[in-house]
Structure 1
Amino acid sequence: MDPSTELRTGLIERIAQLFAEHGASAYEGARRESVSALEHALQCAQLAEWANADASLVAAALLHDMGHFVAVDSEGDAIDDVHELRALPLLAEGFGAAVVEPVRLHVQAKRYLVATEWAYGARLSPASVHSLQLQGGPMSPDEVQLFETLPFAQAAVMLRRWDDLAKEPRKRTPPLDYYLALLAELQQQPFVDSKIGIGSLSIA
């Protein structure tokens, strides 16, 4: 087997294992939502697919919360868990910027939308409102301007909107294996990490 193919196959297996280990869990405390982590991921990917998003963005929708699986914060609800950053080293092993960057930016996209759409914040779930305060609140005008210049900003905004909607209990979706097959079909591209800071993040 070609080493690059073996690397991609191994990554898909690790992603499947992480979903198997953590997907049934529900967010607790102030972060509690009405669906499990796996249900949320599948619904988000389904919404991306229904919107005719390209395969990379569907993959990002599926994987955007994997940071919750790769580390556990002992501080619980008291601090920002920076989950959008935790899985980036894992994802960058096999996926290009079109997958990795929307994942990295989806929290910043929430801050952006709260700052630029007056009705957006009123539609957030209580858990999202709670986490927003820990994540820095609405963007400043300078942050908004910088965010809008980023290559994957609009993809992240689309992902954020699906993220907000993907919380419907008992909604029917394709199984995880369906989306794992999509991940396997994505061709690996070099991941370039540039350094442009917004808040506490370094984003490309």
Structure 2
Amino acid sequence: MKDGTAEDYALLAELEKPFIAATGERVLAELARHGEATLEGYRITRLEHGLQAATRAERDGADLDWIVGALLHDIGDGLAPQNHDRFSAEVIRPFVRWDVAWVVEHHGIFQMLYYGHHYGWDRNARDRFRDHPCFDACATFCERWDQSSFDPDYDSLPLDHFVPMVREVFARKAYDPAVIREGEVTALTA
């Protein structure tokens, strides 16, 4: 790499444009793969879990970033089950608001409130973030959209409904300060 010229890197940047532009399609393909098998120990697939969370978000009046964040909050589960929350956040971080990425990144520790004690873990581990500006948003995200989205009888919207939303988000300029708005916390619902 150190021997590359400015012309070499200009060529690479040009050649990478189609690949970068197809990020949303690769994310959608990964999400579709989450529908191939039931989530271990549950009566739904990983895809259905994401669809339920996104449907709940939309029905609550959430905006585009929150809906896509809810849909993709577990996108990293297949490759990184032990840190899927951070993995998932890194997938969406360049394209969504700062607070949405923060919530997705931390939802795993916040979810421990519901089950951590059954494993001998600190169910209140999330309290170390009590003073963080996104604490309430993450607690609400987990309560309303994540922990409740394992219901085999829930009437969730189909993936096709969310495809245009995912494409719109991933078509944004990566790390656009007008989108990211670091430090700004938005309401989960209208």
After superposing the two structures, state which structure 1 stretch, 3-12 or 147-156, moved more: 3-12
- 1:141-152 paired onto structure 2 within 5 Å: 144=127, 146-152=128-134
Q: Which residue of 1 aligns with 2:46?
A: 37
Report matched runs for 1:1-204 at 5 Å.
Answer: 9-28=21-40, 32-71=41-80, 81-111=82-112, 114=113, 121=114, 129=115, 133=119, 136-139=121-124, 144=127, 146-161=128-143, 162-186=145-169, 187-188=172-173, 190=175
Q: Distance in 1 between matches of 2:25 and 2:105?
A: 22
Structure 2 residue runs without a partner (length 5+): 1-13, 184-190
Q: Distance in 1 between matches of 2:165 and 2:138?
A: 19
1:181 CA displacement: 1.1
Q: What are structure 1's unaligned runs of at least 5 residues?
A: 74-80, 115-120, 122-128, 195-204
Give the AA of the match of 2:92.
Answer: L
Give CA-to-partner distance per residue, 1:53-104, whole Å, 9 cap, x none.
2221111110111111334x6xxxxxxx121122333223433423321110
In structure 1, how many angstroms separate the alpha carbons of the residues matched to 2:18 and 2:107? 29
Q: Partner letter of residue 95 of structure 1?
A: V
Q: Following the alignment from structure 1 to structure 2, what is the Cα–Cα distance between the partners of residues 87 and 176?
A: 18
- Return the alpha-carbon distance in structure 1 between the equivalents of residues 15 and 160 of structure 2: 23
Distance 1:131 1:8 in 2: 42
* Alpha-carbon shift at residue 10 of structure 1 (Å): 1.6
Amino acid corresponding to residue 163 of structure 1 in structure 2: D
Q: TM-score scaled to structure 1, two decimals?
A: 0.65
TM-score calculated relative to the size of structure 2: 0.70
CA RMSD of aligned residues (A): 3.2
Given residue 53 of structure 1, which amino acid in structure 2 is its aligned partner?
Answer: A
Aligned length: 163
Q: Aligned-pair distance for 1:15? A: 1.0
TM-fit CA distance, 1:107 = 1.4
The 1:53–1:7 alpha-carbon spacing in structure 2 relative to 1, beyond 3 Å, is: farther
Output the CA distance in 2 between the equivalents of 1:177 and 1:132.
37
The more displaced of 39-48 and 179-188 is 179-188
- Structure 1 residues 40 and 177, CA, compared in 2 at 3 Å: closer, same or farther? same
1:82 partner letter: N
Displacement, 1:17? 1.0
